[in-house]
């Protein structure tokens, strides 16, 4: 049976992909002035957060910075918009799965990530993280971006082998809100740095520690810090004294164990000084351990691991029919970042109307006259293709590719 998309501002929403403590996430799409479709992920804040003016103001502040980030390993933020009582974050859709569910599925199916996969994924993620850490504004002033919530669920893996970090800027806004309420940052402790668990001022080395914790878990199958409750977990993290990774997994290559240990040093000054330095260490490991590793390897892994889900997603999307009533005035809401993003911001090109679609077999027909357009037609149409995105390709020596 056909399902109708839900129109929200410039976007058409299809299925909900996640429902979390803070937001619902939908898959959706929109069109640019050429009629090309762009897939988007729409994060719709839950009412409790929308009503919290302080949280929204913090989110606005943070997203002013985050919306400037442009890097193949960072999921692009298109806009933060207030619309019909909702607050939406529109971002680039990454066609794939996050690292957390990928690891879970890998365990379940006994087809886990290899050390080379892990090194590659984390090296790409560190590239994205470093880009954010060193980002400056037009005047060259350091934006001081620290992710604060670098965790497996915020690393997205595309079926095409893309690796993209998301959710920059949310943790800071959320921190104030939850800390003032309970004194504890619920459910967010596992990958924290010790200085974060103490509530100290953070710099980029805090993210390096979190990356070390994620690496630890990927390489040993256990999170570095575990406890019966959140409070004890905070104490474990503050001690920063996990079981040595090779004690957990004697097969772990010593070079990788050393990388984990240095990333997770309790003293900031003993860690890698930047995400870039950690990336270089991982690339060094990858080049020795598996010099022929390419992005296509990760793509193959993802496609194989998630084959049934990819098929099911395709079938689900094919059933959607674009619901675009004519004669209804467009309401795009209020873009909370419009000033910061300027007139050339990517969202400014987005429209819910696929005005210049050429439909397969039907010649030049405007979508407005087409009674129903299905997702299948949108993807199979002669001219409706997703334009190539600037992206990493196979790692190359010239420094333009992945590690």
x/- string (CB under 6 A) for ligand ATP, residues 216-245? ------------------------------
Beta bridge partners of 99: none
Query: Cα separation of 146 and 166, whole Å?
Result: 12
CA 348 to chain centre: 22
Partner from ligand ATP, Mg ion, none contacting 156, C-beta within 5 to 8 A by type: ligand ATP
Q: Which one, 39 or 319, has the nearer CB to ligand ATP?
A: 39
Beta bridge partners of 42: 26, 90
Q: Are 74 and 131 in contact (CB under 8 A)?
A: yes
CA 189 to chain centre: 19
Instruction: For residue 41, state whether it binds ligand ATP (rule: CB under 6 A).
Output: yes
Q: Which stretch binds ligand ATP (CB under 6 A): 106-114, 116-124, 150-158, 238-246?
A: 150-158
Q: Is 149 a catalytic residue?
A: yes
Beta bridge partners of 320: 3
Partner from ligand ATP, Mg ion, none contacting 20, C-beta within 5 to 8 A by type: ligand ATP
Instruction: For residue 189, state whether it binds ligand ATP (rule: CB under 6 A).
Output: no
Q: How many residues bind ligand ATP (CB under 6 A)?
A: 20
Instruction: For residue 18, state whether it binds ligand ATP (rule: CB under 6 A).
Output: yes
Point out which residues bind Mg ion (CB under 5 A). 154, 167
Please give the biggest Cα pair distance in the chain.
67
Q: Are 165 and 147 in contact (CB under 8 A)?
A: yes
DSSP 183: S
Q: Are 47 and 369 in contact (CB under 8 A)?
A: no
DSSP labels, 17-45: EEE-SSEEEEEEEEE-TT--EEEEEEEEE
Residues numbered 77-96 forming contacts with ligand ATP, rule: CB under 6 A: 91-94
Residue with tokens 């004690």: 247
Instruction: For residue 207, state whether it binds ligand ATP (rule: CB under 6 A).
Output: no
x/- string (CB under 6 A) for ligand ATP, residues 60-79? ---------------x----
Least distance to ligand ATP, CB of residue 176, Å: 15
Query: Cα separation of 46 and 328, whole Å?
Result: 27
Q: For binding to ligand ATP (CB under 6 A), which residues are involved?
A: 17-18, 20, 22-23, 25, 41, 75, 91-94, 98, 149, 151, 153-154, 156, 166-167
Active site residues: 149
């Amino acid at each position: 049976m056909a399902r109708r998309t839900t129109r929200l501002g410039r976007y058409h929403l299809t299925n909900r992909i996640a429902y979390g403590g803070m937001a619902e996430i939908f898959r959706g799409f929109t069109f640019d002035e050429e009629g090309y479709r762009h897939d988007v992920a729409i994060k719709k804040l839950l009412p409790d957060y929308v009503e919290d003016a302080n949280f929204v103001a913090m989110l606005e502040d943070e997203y002013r910075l985050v919306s400037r980030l442009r890097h193949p390993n960072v999921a692009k933020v298109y806009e933060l918009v207030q619309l019909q009582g909702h607050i939406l974050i529109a971002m680039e859709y990454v066609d794939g799965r996050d690292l957390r569910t990928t690891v879970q599925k890998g365990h379940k199916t006994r087809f886990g990530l290899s050390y080379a996969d892990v090194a590659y994924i984390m090296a790409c993620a560190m590239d994205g993280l470093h880009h954010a850490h060193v980002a400056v504004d037009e005047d060259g002033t350091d934006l001081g971006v620290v992710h604060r919530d670098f965790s497996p669920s915020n690393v997205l893996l595309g079926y095409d082998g893309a690796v993209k970090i998301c959710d920059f800027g949310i943790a800071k806004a959320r921190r104030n809100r939850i800390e003032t309420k309970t004194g504890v940052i619920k459910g967010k402790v596992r990958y924290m740095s010790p200085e974060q668990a103490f509530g100290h001022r953070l710099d980029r080395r805090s993210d390096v520690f979190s990356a070390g914790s994620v690496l630890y878990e990927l390489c040993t199958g256990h999170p570095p810090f575990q406890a019966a409750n959140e409070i004890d977990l905070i104490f474990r993290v503050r001690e920063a004294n996990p079981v040595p990774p090779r004690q957990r997994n004697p097969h772990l290559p010593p070079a990788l164990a050393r990388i984990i240990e240095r990333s997770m040093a309790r003293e900031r000054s003993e860690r890698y000084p930047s995400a870039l330095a950690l990336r270089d260490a991982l690339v060094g490991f990858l080049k020795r351990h598996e010099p022929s590793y390419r992005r296509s390897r990760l793509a193959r892994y993802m496609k194989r691991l998630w084959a049934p889900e990819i098929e099911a997603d395709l079938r689900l999307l094919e059933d959607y029919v674009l619901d675009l009533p004519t004669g209804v005035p467009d309401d795009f809401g209020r873009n909370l970042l419009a000033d910061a993003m300027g007139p050339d911001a990517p969202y400014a090109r987005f429209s819910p109307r696929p005005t210049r679609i050429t439909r397969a077999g039907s010649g030049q027909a405007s979508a407005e006259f087409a009674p129903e357009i299905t997702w299948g037609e949108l993807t199979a149409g002669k001219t409706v293709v997703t334009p190539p995105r600037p992206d990493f390709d196979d790692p190359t020596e010239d420094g333009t590719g992945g590690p």
